[in-house]
Structures are given as C-alpha cells and as structure tokens.
Amino acid sequence: MDSLQEYFRNADIAVLALPSNFTYGTAIVERGAVEIIARTSTTVEAWAGGLEGTVRQGGGSRRRVQLRLSGDQLSWHCTGNPKAHDIFCKHCVAVALFLKNAE
C-alpha cells in the first residue's frame, strides 16, 4: 500500500473505530466539517468537527487530526485524545472518510 487514500479505500474504516465513533465521524464528514491543512500521499493533517447539534448529529469541538501510513502500518493522533489513549476517534473517522472519498 503506498498511499493513505488507497489504504482507506481498501480498509474497513468501521473496524478501526468504536461503532458510536464511526456513526459520529460519518455525521461530521457528511456535514462538511473536515478541512485539510496539509496532505502528502502518506500523511494528512486536518481539522475535524466544530459543528452545532448533538454528538449523534456530528456536533462537538473542532480537533486537529494527523494520520500517517508507514508501509502497511497506520498511525494517528487527535488533539482531543490523551496521549496514552489514542483511540481512532470520531475526528479520525471523519478525516479517513473524507480522504477515502476525495478526488
């Protein structure tokens, strides 16, 4: 796998995240609340979130997300997550789905 976009087109993003976070992240991207800051073929940095409404509607704070692919190894960080507990959160889901569906 040589690009992050190809990775997400082949991966089941729902498996990376808790079902609730997959639902919330899907709502965030469907409402257009993902903004790419910088992107290479194997890295992306983006803002996600900052919408009004309930969590289920994609509402919540805006967070900065970094995703990186090294070989077949995906790594991620969201500024909303504590360092020791870096789950694939709703913001990571939103950015991953954005990339998957981008041109």
- 80 near Zn ion, rule: CB under 5 A: yes
How many angstroms separate the CA atoms of 102 and 86, rounded?
Answer: 25
Calculate ∠ Cα 76-82-78, nearest 5°.
35
* Phi and psi torsions of 53, nearest 5°: 110, -175
Out of 17, 28, 29, 89, the only residue in the binding site for Zn ion (CB under 5 A) is: 89
DSSP H or E stretch at residue 68: strand 62-70
DSSP code for 103: -
Site string for Zn ion, 55-74 (x = CB under 5 A): --------x-----------
- 44 near Zn ion, rule: CB under 5 A: no
CB of 78 to Zn ion, least distance (A): 3
Site stretch for Zn ion (CB under 5 A), options 5-13, 69-77, 80-88, 95-103: 80-88
Could you list the residues that contact Zn ion (CB under 5 A)? 63, 78, 80, 89, 91
